[in-house]
Amino acid sequence: MPARFRTLLLVAVLFLPTLFLTACGRSAPPADAPAVDGRLEDGLRVLTFDPSRPDARYTIYRGDYVRPELAGGGPFSLEIAALGVDLRVPTATGEPAFFKVPDAGVYPFRIGDLAGEIEALEYRAAAYREVSAKEAAALLPSLRPFVLDVRTGREFAAGHLDGATLIPVQALSRRLDELAAHRHEPVLIYCATGNRSTVAGKMLVDAGFTNVINVRRGIAEWAREGLPVVR
């Protein structure tokens, strides 16, 4: 095989996956992106605890709302003392059981005889950044981002940023097409305290959005700073 042809073939192997993802409207994940466990469904990270797994350490993102399940199914109890979590799955009411992880760190857990750790990492991506409420307020008049509120309708009605569009994080994956026109524009996202908006930020980046800005501590910090909201 001629050397020039081998070089062209190598270039194609290295770069065609990235070109394919871009053409499909998705960005290739950073080479150094950490591997996290579970899958996102309706804004929740579904984390499957497997007693047969060689280690009992699971990795998620700070801000995740986690819905636990047990490999093979069946009822179980999950305890995470550092988070005040004591869940019975399934719940007595039949509602989905979940817990949130508001801070990065390592959290020991126990499910019966299974003991291990959940490590929560800060989300990092080239197309994503976090700002304070004051920084967000300063960006609005100059950057003019698309403002996305990922809380519930009731929270939105109680007070929201001027010009914000409401798409609850639970519905975001199903409604991403509504935001397609803003894929390459600044998108400012917020929730109550910065947890759901972190989840939403990752969903947007994974969908190919190139400039996602998260209000790190949410509208709660916005209100504490005396910044204006509309009702």
Q: What is the pLDDT of residues 142-166, one digit of tens each?
A: 999 999 999 999 999 999 999 999 9
Q: Is the pLDDT of residue 53 over 90?
A: no
- The chain-wide mean pLDDT, for the chain, equals 88
Confidence of residue 21 (pLDDT cuts 50, 70, 90): very low
- Alpha-carbon distance 48 to 213, whole Å? 30
- Alpha-carbon distance 99 to 67, whole Å? 7
Active site residue 191: yes
Overall fold of domain 39-121: Immunoglobulin-like (2.60.40)
Q: What is the pLDDT of residues 69-114, one digit of tens each?
A: 999 998 999 999 999 999 999 998 888 899 999 999 999 999 999 9
CATH assignment of 128-224?
3.40.250.10
In this prediction the pTM is 0.81
Q: How many other CB atoms sit within 10 Å of the CB of residue 109?
A: 21
Q: Is the pLDDT of residue 18 over 90?
A: no
Q: Can you give the residue ranges of every domain in the chain?
A: 39-121, 128-224
State the catalytic residue, choosing from 66, 83, 191, 207: 191
Q: Is the pLDDT of residue 28 over 80?
A: no
Confidence of residue 209 (pLDDT cuts 50, 70, 90): very high
Given a contact cutoff of 8 angstroms between Cβ atoms, the answer to whether 225 and 148 are in contact is no
Average pLDDT over residues 188-199: 97
Average pLDDT over residues 119-131: 97
Given a contact cutoff of 8 angstroms between Cβ atoms, the answer to whether 136 and 222 are in contact is yes
Pairing of the two strands 99-100 and 85-89 = unpaired
**Rounded to whole angstroms, what are the CA distances from 127 to 100, 136, 161, 222?**
24, 16, 23, 23
- Cis bond leading into 90, ω under 30°? yes
Confidence of residue 54 (pLDDT cuts 50, 70, 90): confident
